[in-house]
Structure 1
Amino acid sequence: MTESTDDGWPDKYGDPRDRPHPDVLRLTVETFEEMREDTLDAVEAISEGEEQPAVVSFRTVGELRKILTERRIELLRVLMATEGAAESISALAEELDRDYRTVHDDVSLLAEYGLLFIVEDGQSKRPYLPYERIHLDVELVGGPSSEEHAPA
């Protein structure tokens, strides 16, 4: 069994700072079938030499809103302003003027969903955001509720 790091990536992938990342992280709300089609299109585009954004998809607008709160958006903005890395979660909490535990919980949740990475440097855990921009791609259509699954 492969050991996993706190950011959910198996150790065999190594330090996320050593891997190439696109400039843009794209957050979407879409069905499984749409995610599948987008993935197949991206694989084809990459095989033709085109750079593609990193994509994290959510099944509902409600799920996206639950994860992407104002405080977590602020956290992501601070990381982007510091070239994607903070010295530690403690330093990030201090920069945000927030309690360490809540920042740690937010960093852990964002890493769990693939919005950032956690790099272990000895005793310190450093949040790492390799993207220059985060693009929200949410399509709203008429229907019974915004909490419904993404349009098919």
Structure 2
Amino acid sequence: MTDPDHDGWPDKYSDPRDRPHPAVLRLTVESFDEAFEDTLDAVEAVDDGEARPAVVSFGTVGELRKILTDRRIEVLQTLLDVDGAAESISALAETLDRSYKTVHDDVTLLADYGIVFLVEDDDRAKRPYLPYERIRLDVELVVSDAGEEPTAV
């Protein structure tokens, strides 16, 4: 039986804090085909009992840079420093000495890309949650045709 949101997770995993997560999140730049192949490899590795990092792939270096601004990296580092969870977005904004709106916007965007999770507790406060111990950026630049944006191999 799945949860009411129909996200494919069994009811016991409706809260992302209850889902199994690897220790490492890998952010990479790769084509759709490469990301698809990596996903198939990861599924096979998990079936074999091998630990693999979670992966979020971006199509271009520009897209990665657009999402991972210095301020958003600061949000991620702060969440890593507090064992992955903040009391609320307001508390995170206070820790960062930034406005609620800018932190809310940054956390929401990171959640939209699957980098951070938003957890709603009984009091309805949204809590940013980062279940990883480390985040690894994996971008390999290669020679490209003139005028093309660099992509990973």
CA deviation vs aligned residue, 1:82-141 (integer Å, no higher than 9, x gap): 000000000000000000000000000000000010000122100000001000010101
Q: Which residue of 2 aligns with 1:147?
A: 149
Matched, 1:69 2:83: no
Give the secondary-structure state (helix, strand or coil) at the position aligned to 1:27. strand
Residues 140 and 146, structure 1, Cα contact 8 Å, conserved in 2: no
Letter in 2 for 1:110: L
Q: TM-score, normalised by structure 2?
A: 0.89
Matched, 1:120 2:120: yes
Give the secondary-structure state (helix, strand or coil) at the position aligned to 2:57. strand
Q: TM-score, normalised by structure 1?
A: 0.89
Letter in 2 for 1:118: L
Alpha-carbon distance change, 77 to 146 in structure 1, aligned in 2, over 3 angstroms? farther
d(CA) in 2 for partners of 1:105 and 1:146? 30
Letter in 1 for 2:102: T
Q: Which residue of 1 aligns with 2:31?
A: 31
d(CA) in 2 for partners of 1:53 and 1:102? 29
Letter in 1 for 2:29: V
Total equivalences in the alignment: 147
Q: Which 5+ residue runs of structure 1 have no aligned equivalent?
A: none
Alpha-carbon distance change, 146 to 65 in structure 1, aligned in 2, over 3 angstroms? farther
d(CA) in 1 for partners of 2:68 and 2:105? 13
Percent identity for Structure 1 against Structure 2: 67
Give the secondary-structure state (helix, strand or coil) at the position aligned to 1:66. helix
CA deviation vs aligned residue, 1:34-88 (integer Å, no higher than 9, x gap): 1111111111111110011100000000000000000000000000000000000
Give the secondary-structure state (helix, strand or coil) at the position aligned to 2:135. strand
d(CA) in 1 for partners of 2:43 and 2:8? 21
Letter in 2 for 1:112: D
Q: Which residue of 1 aligns with 2:84?
A: 84
Q: Which residue of 2 aligns with 1:41?
A: 41
Q: Which residue of 2 aligns with 1:59?
A: 59
Q: Which residue of 1 aligns with 2:137?
A: 136
d(CA) in 1 for partners of 2:133 and 2:147? 33
Q: Which residue of 2 aligns with 1:22?
A: 22
Larger RCO of the pair (alpha carbons < 8 Å, separation 6+): 1
Question: Cα offset for 1:142?
Answer: 1.6
RMSD of the TM alignment (CA)?
1.9
Letter in 2 for 1:78: T
Letter in 2 for 1:29: V
